[in-house]
Amino acid sequence: MSKFYVTTPIYYVNSVPHIGHAYTTIAADILARYYRQKGDIVYFQTGTDEHGAKIAQAADKQGLAPQEFVDKIVPQFEKTWEILNIDYDFFIRTTDKNHKKIVGEILSLIKANGDIYKDRYEGLYCVHCERFYTEGELENGLCIYHQEKPTFHQETNYFFKLSRYRDKLLRALEDKSDPNYYEILPRARRNEIIGKIKSGLQDISISRETLAWGVKVPWDEKQVVYVWVEALLNYFSGPKIARKDVWPPDVQIIGKDILWFHAVIWPAMLMSAGVSLPKKIFAHGFFTIDGQKISKTLGNVIDPVEVSKKYGIDALRYFLFSEVSFGDDGIFSLKRLEERYSSDLSNGLGNLVQRVAAMVEKYLDGEIFRGYSEVDSAPFERHMEELEFHKAIEYIWSELKGLDQYIEEEKPWRLAKENNPRLPEVLGNLMASIQELNKMIAPFMPETGQKIDEIFGGNKVKLKEPLFPRIDE
Ligand code: MSP
């Protein structure tokens, strides 16, 4: 039996979760469910990123102490994930005292390895990204993600010798026999990162002296650890706190905006501390709402819980991963969601299940006959291992179409009229194939998977309400 450790980023708690956050989290949940079904020992971790200037500012705005503020927001994340059927194994909060202790321990290891020094620093800081930028990285002097002018900071900080890891990182990315070998996916992003590493790495500041809300640098109480460095360590501290022996992560799912931290800084820190590296880092694309960037200022933030109330959780989960190839950017549109809901779910899967169940009821008295499924799960599994979610879904739906065709060809209603003894066999084959496909559907749509199991899983078919009622009903 093998273990499978999958992570999402930990979310900033300055706002409640939106559709973009739900995207990352559902992707990890799909993988976790898939590997659990295969019998692997799965450990799926998500959580919240609670330190840093951004959180301190948000707390201040509400007149709350940072700790009070985060304690108020975190349950909203937990609630959202519960509603969206996210079945994680551990939820880490960076304000956890054990996490803070482990951060200190790892930093001390990095220091003992000679990779930390003190220096003066000045630069432009975007508080929304929680990172420094050089002039060249800005567009018209503004942060490209937040269209805001970063503020100038000048302070004495501790630095991590990232520059020292250039060759080691390149070897770990390019040489499969390297003990540190790790993958960045999709391939185009990997090449981008390799190109950037080759063009040179600058040491990075890893502490802040003008900020109080954070984890203290173990050897200097006047400084707190830079929030990104601290946050990345959640992936390491989490399993320790949960007492799960699962290190290293098998897949880390993140958005493309935070790839540099995960693909370069994070592995370099682990190398320095003498810890083995994650095996795979997958960067997905960004969703826009009807073509516009998701932002509080534009007022177009879509609450995934609202969407799932109207269309069902599974319809949202299905839409997010069938509409866009995982890795690419995509457009979230409710109109498009409704279209896919009627064509693929209502008229597609839902109708097929209903039709077959009704025929079994009518012609066989509901008696379930064990038939034979010709569905091949190999292509599906290949797509899942490669995180090609949309292709996995396409495969399921093409097989479902095949079943519709089988019905049209065999015409069970005619077999019934003719008293043809092949009738139970034909309906049995349909049920067996639906059951087989349902195993593939379940990680994407857990509720639907369970419902289909209830319909065909016993000795007698249980005809129920339509799986996907028409929206106008
Ligand atoms: N706290 C950091 C992560 C630290 S991990 C050690 C962070 N948090 S975040 O809340 O801002 O974003 C979390 C995730 O949501 C990221 O993977 C990000 O890419 C994703 N998304 C945020 N907006 C998104 C879209 N509009 N579309 C798709 N994903 C997006 O970054």
Give the full edge-to-edge strand order of the sheet including 204-205. 131-133, 116-126, 151-160, 204-205
Residue in 86, 286, 316, 324 to alter for ligand 1 test, most ligand atoms within 8 A of Cβ: 286
Residue 103 CB less than 6 A away from ligand 1: no
Chain segment 9-30, per-residue pLDDT in tens: 999 998 889 999 999 999 999 9
Answer whether residue 296 shows pLDDT above 80. Answer: no
Q: What is the mean pLDDT of the chain?
A: 95
Residue 145 CB less than 6 A away from ligand 1: no
Residue nearest to atom 15 of ligand 1 (CA): 21
Answer whether residue 228 shows pLDDT above 90. Answer: yes
43, 89 contact by CB (below 8 A)? yes
Measure the CA angle with vertex 381, ends 377 and 382; round to 5°. 120
CA of 23 to the centre of ligand 1 (A): 9
Ligand 1: atom nearest CA of 294 is 26
Ligand 1: atom nearest CA of 293 is 26
Residue 25 CB less than 6 A away from ligand 1: no
Region 90-97: mean pLDDT is 98
Range with the lowest mean pLDDT among 48-57, 106-115, 150-159? 150-159
Provide the pLDDT for residue 461.
96
CA of 283 to the centre of ligand 1 (A): 11
CA of 472 to the centre of ligand 1 (A): 34
CA dist 69 and 53 (Å) reads 13
Residue 286 CB less than 6 A away from ligand 1: yes
CA dist 402 and 25 (Å) reads 32
Provide the pLDDT for residue 178.
98
Determine how many CB atoms are found less than 10 A away from the CB of residue 137: 13
CA of 257 to the centre of ligand 1 (A): 7
Task: State the SS3 of 83-150.
Answer: HCCCCCCEEEECCCHHHHHHHHHHHHHHHHCCCEEEEEEEEEEECCCCEEECHHHCECCECCCCCCCC
**What sign does the dihedral 437-358-350-344 (CA atoms) show?**
positive
Region 94-98: mean pLDDT is 98
CA dist 229 and 283 (Å) reads 19
Choose between 314 and 290: higher pLDDT: 314
* 3-state secondary structure at position 247: coil
Provide the pLDDT for residue 423.
97
